[in-house]
Amino acid sequence: MDNKTFKQLLRRYVSGSASDSEKKTIDTWYDSYRELDDAEVFGCEAESARIGSQLHTEVSGHWMPPKRIPYRGYLAYAASALMVLGVSWAVFFQEQNPAAHRTAQAASSSATLTYQQVETAVGQVKKITLPDGSMVWVNALSSLRVPKSFGKPTRALYLDEGEAYFEVAHDPSKPFVVHSRGLSTRVLGTAFNVNAYKRLGSISVTVTHGKVAVADSNQHQLAAPLTEAQQLIFDTRSGSHTLNEGVSHTTASWREGATHLRDASFENVALAFFNTYGVELKAGSQAIHDHRYSLVIRTTNRLDETLRIICSIHQNQFRRKDYEVIIY
């Protein structure tokens, strides 16, 4: 709908002559914008104030309040005025910010989808088969959303938290897209691992075979398409990324209950430990935190056995209290 048509519809809404379907259109637009924060749209208070002043002028041209309002009609009038203000803001926002308007419209459309939620607990791995025949393994303490309309017309799903391994059925007409906290991984048919645990501050995409393209939230491709044994690590804080070659095929060995860590940071060790046992692992000093670790954490090992393995790497000790272990 172009701006001229929308303004005409707004005037009919204000005057009370809009049809039920036209009212529904206005209400839908209003709902899609009312949750936007001024700072997110304009970036500074001065610009927000300028737009607000101009908006007031726009609204005044459409709505002049009556000089006298019966008390019992006061609340109805106030509600109507607020609605007009919100809808007028939407019209103005559309004209001033076409790109942001398209983003908000897409988000509103996405919000109407219904999902199948797949969640896992400590030490749990789930395997699901999608309607197109693709298979997904979901690691411990992860959350995956699959639209119930998956495959109609697109094959897109959402890894909101955690890690998942995908074996994608080939379908050139319907690219397979995994959305994970600001990144989108797009493929036709391949196998790859996505690690997007929030506590790591990074997202990694590792390809087992085939080819995938990774893009940021602005749909800018971060690098050339990844191929077998390549890995992209995206820093969610800085927005930078690194590429690794010759990554081991054991990246997704967690599916069989064995997490292989090679030259891993303490954060990665602590995450794997928590996923397996539900116990927090903490470094007793900065030096211990800065150590690198190479080991395998197996679900078949007892907690104390794994702790002894971790401590043996740098000749450390551990102290356990309830659901926390400190390495010192």
Q: Average pLDDT per run of 10 along the chain, which is 328 residues long?
A: 61 73 64 39 44 48 46 43 46 47 46 88 97 97 96 94 97 94 92 97 96 93 94 95 92 95 96 97 96 96 96 96 93
The domain boundary, picked from 94, 111, 128, lies at 111
Residues 29 and 83 in one domain: yes
Residues 121 and 242 in one domain: yes
Please give the pLDDT value at position 111: 53
- With beta carbons less than 8 A apart as the criterion, state whether 301 and 308 touch: no
Please give the torsion angle defined by the CA atoms of residues 224, 228, 230 and 235, in that order, rounded to the nearest 10 degrees.
Answer: 80
Residues 119 and 223 in one domain: yes
Residues 119 and 228 in one domain: yes
Please give the pLDDT value at position 120: 98
- With beta carbons less than 8 A apart as the criterion, state whether 18 and 35 touch: no
Residues 66 and 99 in one domain: yes
Please give the pLDDT value at position 98: 47
Find the CATH number of the domain harbouring 163: 2.60.120.1440
Please give the pLDDT value at position 226: 96
Please give the pLDDT value at position 78: 44
Residues 168 and 273 in one domain: no
Range of the domain at 19: 3-111
Residues 69 and 98 in one domain: yes
Please give the pLDDT value at position 19: 81
Residues 143 and 107 in one domain: no
Please give the pLDDT value at position 112: 75
The domain boundary, picked from 67, 94, 111, lies at 111
Please give the pLDDT value at position 8: 72
How far apart, in whole angstroms, are the C-alpha atoms of residue 227 and residue 245? 9
- Specify the pTM: 0.66
Q: Looking at the 3D structure of the chain, how many domains does it have?
A: 3
Find the CATH number of the domain harbouring 290: 3.55.50.30
Residues 98 and 222 in one domain: no
The domain boundary, picked from 249, 270, 285, lies at 249
Residues 133 and 59 in one domain: no
For residue 151, count CB atoms less than 10 angstroms from its CB and return exposed for 0-12, middle for 13-18, buried for 19 or more: middle
Residues 70 and 184 in one domain: no
Distance from CA of residue 177 to its chain's centroid? 13
Residues 229 and 288 in one domain: no
Please give the pLDDT value at position 276: 97
